[in-house]
Amino acid sequence: MNALLEMRGISKHFTGVKALSGVDLTVAPGEIHALVGENGAGKSTLMKVLSGVHPHGSYEGAILFDSEERRFRDINDSEALGIIIIHQELALIPLMSIAENIFLTDPPARFGIIDRSAVHRRARELLAKVGLDENPDTLVTNIGVGKQQLVEIAKALSKKVRLLILDEPTASLSEKDSAALLDLLLEFKAQGIASILISHKLNEVSRVADRITVLRDGRTVDTMDCSAGAVEEDRIIRSMVDRDLEHRYPKREPTASGTAIGETIFKVRDWSVFHPLHADRQVIRNVDFEVKRGEIVGIAGLMGAGRTEFAMSIFGRSWGQKIAGQVEIEGRPVDLSTVRRAVDAGLAYVTEDRKQLGLLLADDIRKNITLANLPAVAPASVIDDVRELKVAADYRARMRIRSHSVYQETGKLSGGNQQKVVLSKWLFTDPKVLILDEPTRGIDVGAKYEIYCIINELADAGKAVIVISSEMPELIGICDRICVMNEGAFVGEFPGPDCTQEKIMRAIMRHTNRAKEGERP
């Protein structure tokens, strides 16, 4: 095979941790090469070595590009050769426009002066290429995380790409937008552009990849050729986790704890929310919603349906303006006008963006776990270090957080373990109602299974659990009931065991068609 890229015997050590051990990877021109493995397997570290984030001299092994050994000092060296990486963590400046972010390092210029019209025009062309219909002058802070991911991809396309590295590019995207991005990769392939795709969505990997390399514990364990046909997901999973997952989702038995799904514990009536920047735009349209004790209710919908906006507006009015409606918990009206009052009323919200909104990444596990309920570890308004340590250690054991101690920096944990820390933080508040927004985004199949088991345990303990997810199979696999949201309204409801992706999409399309015909949503 005529290789565009060869990585030979790559090993990388951090303090006390061997992240990579003799990894080999080969990519041909125009090939889509998928890189899969559990969180912590070494995928992102390997790509940081390739892109120069970890410079030559900080690792062992050799990188060959165009058959020549390369020694990248930084990311500028790799980009000069056309190796462009889009990291899982977004690298955009929130208070700059979309166009300014796209051309931040190399804007079109005339006579040394930035050509604003060219910036705007080329930004529109790139946004159209990734399927994002936004004004290039829109500030990044005013668009959602899914659209920000598309801006990152447009930014990468503005450079002369020969090898595009995408680290979980569809983690924040709807199924429609994910499909459009995968089609874009296939277009790149036809143009001779190679891609390395890191993804936990194995159905996407199987759809577009020419070959799949599996990493486990920092080692290459398998490389699968897809030219003869799609590789079965079960084979990929076995290589990733070194075990069979007999069922992708744990068995859901609402009576497992001896108590059936009980009375309604959480009720929302006539809830209405307007956009925080556009006062005349109603985002949530007078919706009614309820969850019973011990019940897991899923909220399905496409990007922009209003699911996250609904959840955040309820949780201390964290999003929106002109919010109206009533909320009852255990049959009593509650004041949710601030986050503190929402928490005191028994509500908890696990955000979809754990890195930006859910965790203090520079702090240790111990501090993150107790953060939302400090009075419980500070009886005299001074934190009791012994009590805080005991609480953190208990949750670390209970949630099976993989770390060397509770003093480990949270930002150094894998995505799945970070998610367990976020869950621990909110469970320590002892909520009656727990809202989980994209709880398994960006984590591997093994960690997902553990999160699903935790969700089941919470429901069995009598909590009301609400799960927002862009992955319809996930909702179908774990929920007792699924509500479908579209354009700020609930447009369908199905019992979990009887629900299908087709039913969910049919409910969305029916509502969309009625809206186009001029009916009230």
What pLDDT score does 257 carry?
45
Q: What are phi and psi of 140, to 5 degrees?
A: -60, -35
What pLDDT score does 174 carry?
67
CATH (residue range 246-346+431-521): 3.40.50.300
What pLDDT score does 67 carry?
93
Alpha-carbon distance of 66 to 130, in angstroms, equals: 28
Query: 5-241 and 246-346+431-521 share one CATH topology?
Result: yes
In DSSP terms, which residues pair with 165 in a beta bridge?
A: 85, 196
Alpha-carbon distance of 308 to 284, in angstroms, equals: 10
Alpha-carbon distance of 384 to 405, in angstroms, equals: 18
Strand bridging mode 264-274 / 282-292: antiparallel
Alpha-carbon distance of 341 to 324, in angstroms, equals: 17
pTM for the whole thing?
A: 0.66
Alpha-carbon distance of 103 to 106, in angstroms, equals: 5
What pLDDT score does 234 carry?
78
- pLDDT tens digits for range 411-469: 988 888 899 999 999 999 999 999 999 998 877 777 788 889 999 999 999 999 999 99
Strand bridging mode 113-114 / 109-110: antiparallel
The residues near 291 (Cβ < 8 Å, ≥ 6 apart) are: 264, 265, 266, 297, 433, 464, 465, 466
What pLDDT score does 475 carry?
93
CATH (residue range 5-241): 3.40.50.300
Q: What are phi and psi of 222, to 5 degrees?
A: -165, 145
Q: What are phi and psi of 315, to 5 degrees?
A: -80, 85
- Dihedral (C-alpha) 250, 253, 257, 258: value to the nearest 10 degrees? -160
**What's the mean pLDDT in 484-507?**
90
**What's the mean pLDDT in 478-505?**
91
Higher pLDDT, 230 or 217: 217
- pLDDT tens digits for range 385-402: 999 999 999 999 988 898
Domain boundaries, the chain: 5-241, 246-346+431-521, 360-430
Per-state percent for the chain, helix, strand, coil, to nearest 5:
35, 25, 40
Alpha-carbon distance of 361 to 356, in angstroms, equals: 9
C-alpha closest to that of 23 among 54, 53, 59, 68:
59
- pLDDT tens digits for range 294-343: 999 999 987 778 999 999 999 999 999 999 999 999 999 999 999 999 99
256 pLDDT higher than 70:
no
- pLDDT tens digits for range 119-131: 999 999 999 888 7
- pLDDT tens digits for range 128-169: 888 788 999 999 999 877 788 789 888 888 888 899 999 888
What pLDDT score does 232 carry?
80
